[in-house]
Amino acid sequence: MSQKHATLLVLAALIALSPLFFPSGYYYRIGALMFVNALAVTGIVILTGYAGQISLGHAGFAGIGGYACALAPVHWCLPPALAVVLGAAISAVLAWLVGRPILRLKGYYLGVASLGFGILVAMVLNNERWLTKGPDGIEVPDLGLRGLLKDVGLDLSNGEFWYGLTGIALLVGAWLALNLYHSPTGRALRALHGSEVAAGTVGIDVARVKLQAFVISAVYASVAGSLLALQNKFITPDVAGFMHSIEMVTMAVLGGVGSVPGAVIGAGILTLLPQVLTVFADYEQVILGLVMMLVMIFLPQGLVPSVLRKLRGKDE
Amino acid sequence: MKTTLKTAAPAALIALGLATAASAELKIGASISATGPAAFLGDPEAKTLEMLVEELNAKGGINGEPVELVLYDDGGDANKARTFATRLIEDDEVQAIIGGTTTGTSMSILAVAEDAEVPFISLAGAIDIIQPVKPWTFKTPHTDRMACQKIFEDMKKQGIARIGMISGTDGFGASMQAQCKDVVADYGIEVVADETYDPKDADMTAQLTKIKNAEGVQAVLNPGFGQGPSIVTRNYKQLAIDLPLYQSHGVASDGFIELAGADAAEGVRLPGTALLVAALLAEGDAQKPVVTAYKAAYEGKFKQPVSTFGGYAHDGFALLTDAVTRAGSTEPQAIRDALEATKALAGTTGIYTMTPEDHLGLDLSAFRMLQVKDGKWTIVE
């Protein structure tokens, strides 16, 4: 069994078996949030971990995905499930438009351009009140799938339903990301991460492959934003905010930016920690910062790669 | 932030599934934005709830049972608020929720509370929260539409028919601007100049000059929040605009006069609550004992002036405890039915009378028209 299959199997088992230990319905909500965050962070892994590019505006794509689900069903009578696809398509096109000129350049220009892009999206969502209802947020129509499942005899609570659906979405996202890693494109991405010059010399179209990674990761963020909006049935422009972009990158770096399991662990920890830390009242931010610093100092490659290396000895 | 105002042991046992919540004891959940961009609203709300629960338990609780408060800080994030609402209902098993400092967080909590059929009292302004009426959702603050109506009523009395508006582009300012323009025609008033400013702007003279030069303008209205209105007031004075200036209930506090300067604020009118002018209320005013008691307790305990926002939390708690006392039960359904039947309950914001069609229960009389005179708020009426 390859490492890819082992990773997916462990992930599927964790998702399927964890509910056996849930003391209350609230834990389904936490699980679903973790999976949505992990899905977005998997996109960051493809962009930053595979291709070595940095984006500081991915929340902008999450915002587009989320607001597509809020607006398309109301204005164009699109079923919410198709709105997810529409949001992903818009995100992909915008990522292509932003990335195409920028990714021809070497260095961290994408970081700055995406930062500007994210802020622009947040501004539009905040200010175009006629469309988005502004900073107070907007209601998102029901996905309708839970009702359908009920009709065929599968009666799930809201929490259970979203836990299952986001869990499946994460599995699919992880599977695609792992496949990409082992594909020719994935190898090209890793090659240019090592050295753009060397990658160009062996015939890799560096700009094109980088652009592909950026577009794919934008779609991940967009779908994650859609799932969050549909789950909450309400969305505010915060989802596209700068802090959310930083949160995604932080989750990826904490878990280990080059690895899909790292994305899941990083997202899991940073989703769970604030919930656990409610007991420590005002020290939440301090503890979060401390954890981040300690991980960066002692495990600079992130939790998962560092721990794996320890387990395997020095043969890697 | 989680505060349990009783021993933590029973809560831990419940969390472990070793014990079930006693049904007679009232457990109130709250998700408040005590930190983050809405902290100036949420902080006094959280403090008020903690203080009131402590007070109530010292007096023996409700129906002979102590009250427990489970309080979380959602930081103004709607997504977090939904998680905490789920946690309150599913994990902490509370019988009612107070909270939702902002409209966004309230709308998130509302969806969870309606789904789980748990009574929810919101502390946010937007009318969308209770319109259309949702069976389990109530709210305590008056809407910005009512503030507009109160202001236009006063303008009409002064014979003002043409006004200029200068509004903040934040959630509060933009929402009130839209509501005011929606009702302004009912009062035969025309908006001849409509300007906006960013809440972070440091100077509004350009917009005010435009308004000053608008033809036939008789008064200026400034829907806004935070420091923007103080800057507008100062610029207004600097430009020597000799027209009545109306501010919104968003800046109804002594802090506004301090920020704008007593000299510039002189003559400014706004619709405010009884809380701000507790000492000036007439003897026999139904709200007087409530607001003086709350003001004395809060200022004594926290050494800070009371704010309208803390008052919203006070009223939410008063509505809930009143409903539980009348219902004689802590069953969510019984609490909801009693909440809906609230009659003439004096709070700090106004006098509440709920009906199945009205889950706010306030009318325009909840607002008092206030004016700054010699650096102090006075009632004009």
B79, B89, B171 member nearest A232 (Cβ): B79
User: Are A222 and A58 contacting, i.e. CB atoms less than 8 angstroms apart?
Assistant: no
More confident residue, B151 or A1: B151
Domain, as residue range, for A304? 3-315
Residue B6 pLDDT > 70: no
Question: Given B72, B87, B107, which is nearest A137 (Cβ)?
Answer: B107
Number of separate domains in chain B = 2
Same domain? B128 vs B10: yes
Sort out which chain A residues have CB atoms less than 8 A from B111's CB and list them.
Answer: 232-234
pLDDT of residue A314 exceeding 60: no
Reported confidence tier of residue B1, pLDDT bands at 50, 70, 90: very low
Range of the domain at B197: 144-278+367-379
- Residues B152, B273: one domain? yes
Residue whose C-alpha is closest to residue B174's, from A132, A139, A63, A74? A132
* pLDDT confidence of residue A52: 87
**Which chain B positions have a beta carbon within 8 Å of A163's beta carbon?**
none
Percent of chain B at pLDDT exceeding 70: 93
First to last CA, chain B: 42
Q: What is the DSSP string of A79-141?
A: -HHHHHHHHHHHHHHHHHHHHHHHTTS-SSHHHHHHHHHHHHHHHHHHH-HHHH-GGG-EE--
Do B116 and B181 sit in the same domain of this protein?
no
Could you tell me the pLDDT band of residue B351, with boundaries at 50, 70 and 90? Answer: very high
Contact A233 B72 (CB under 8 A): no
**Lowest-confidence segment of B6-15, B51-60, B273-282 by average pLDDT:** B6-15
Q: Which two tokens stand for residue A39?
A: 């899905």
For the segment B286-307, the average pLDDT, to the nearest whole number, is 91
At B70, give phi and psi (nearest 5°): -110, 115
Which pLDDT score is estimated for B366? 86
Domain identity same for B118 and B176: no
Residues B213 and B358 in one domain: no
Whether B7 has a pLDDT exceeding 50, the answer reads no
- The pLDDT tens digits of the residues spanning A119-178 come to 999 999 988 888 888 888 898 998 888 888 888 888 888 889 999 999 999 999 999 999
Q: Is B341 exposed, middle or buried, given 0-12, 13-18 or 19+ CB atoms closer than 10 A?
A: middle
Number of domains in chain A: 1
Q: Nearest by CB to B2, from A25, A236, A279: name it.
A: A279
pLDDT tens string A47-104? 998 988 889 999 999 999 999 999 999 898 889 999 999 999 999 999 999 999 888 8
Q: For residue A18, is pLDDT > 70?
A: yes
Q: Closest-CA residue in chain A for B103?
A: A136
B302 with B314, same domain?
yes
Q: Could A279 and B83 be called an inter-chain contact, meaning their C-beta atoms sit closer than 8 Å?
A: no
Residue B132: cis peptide before it, omega within 30 degrees of 0: yes
The verdict on a CB contact (< 8 Å) between A232 and B78 is yes
Same domain, B294 and B330: yes
The confidence score (pLDDT) of residue A1 equals 62
Give the model's confidence band at B125: pLDDT under 50 very low, under 70 low, under 90 confident, else very high: confident
pLDDT value of position B14: 43
Per-residue pLDDT at B19 exceeds 70:
no
pLDDT tens figures, B328-339 = 888 999 999 999
CATH number (domain holding residue B126): 3.40.50.2300
Chain B residues in contact with A274 by the CB 8 A cut-off are: 80
A117 φψ region: left (φ > 0), alpha (ψ -120 to 50), beta (else): alpha
Pairwise pLDDT comparison (A112 vs B17), residue with the higher score: A112
Verify that B167 and B88 share a domain, yes or no: no
The average pLDDT across B12-23 equals 42
Domain membership flag for residue B283: no
pLDDT in tens, B304-334: 888 888 999 999 999 999 999 999 888 999 9
User: Do the chains contact at B171 and A136, CB–CB below 8 Å?
Assistant: yes
Q: ipTM of this predicted complex?
A: 0.86
Across the interface, whether the CB atoms of A159 and B90 are under 8 A apart is answered: yes
Residue A300 has pLDDT above 90, yes or no: no
Mean of the per-residue pLDDT values of chain A: 89
If you ran DSSP here, which 8-state letter would residue B164 be given? E
**Cβ contacts (< 8 Å) between B170 and chain A: which residues?**
135
- B→A contacts (Cβ < 8 Å), by residue, are 1-3, 15-17, 72-73, 77-80, 82-83, 86-87, 89-91, 102-104, 107-108, 111, 115, 126, 128, 169-171, 174-175, 178
At residue B231 the predicted structure's pLDDT band, cuts being 50, 70 and 90, is very high
Q: Which of A186-190, B119-123, B252-256 has the lowest mean pLDDT?
A: B252-256
Contact B199, B256 (CB under 8 A): no
Q: What is the pTM for the complete model shown?
A: 0.85
Q: Decide: helix, strand or coil at residue A2.
A: coil
For B132-189, where are the E strands, in sequence order? 137-139, 162-168
Mean pLDDT of the residues in chain B: 88
Decide if B111 and A136 are in contact by the 8 Å CB cutoff. no
Amino acid code (one letter) for A123:
M
Predicted confidence at residue A289, as pLDDT, reads: 82
B71 contacts B49 by C-beta, under 8 angstroms: yes
Domain match, B134 and B212 both: no
- Would you state the pLDDT for residue B247? 94
Residues B356 and B374 in one domain: no
Mean pLDDT across the stretch A238-243? 90
B50 contacts B56 by C-beta, under 8 angstroms = no
- Residue B205 pLDDT: 93
Q: Do residue B77 and residue A26 have CB atoms under 8 angstroms apart?
A: no
User: Which residues in chain A are contacts of B175 at CB distance < 8 A?
Assistant: 134, 136
Is B180 found in the same domain as B79? no
Which residues are bridge partners to B271 per DSSP? B369
Give pLDDT, residue A220.
96
Same domain, B372 and B230: yes
Determine, for residues A238 and B72 on separate chains, whether the beta-carbon distance falls below 8 Å: no
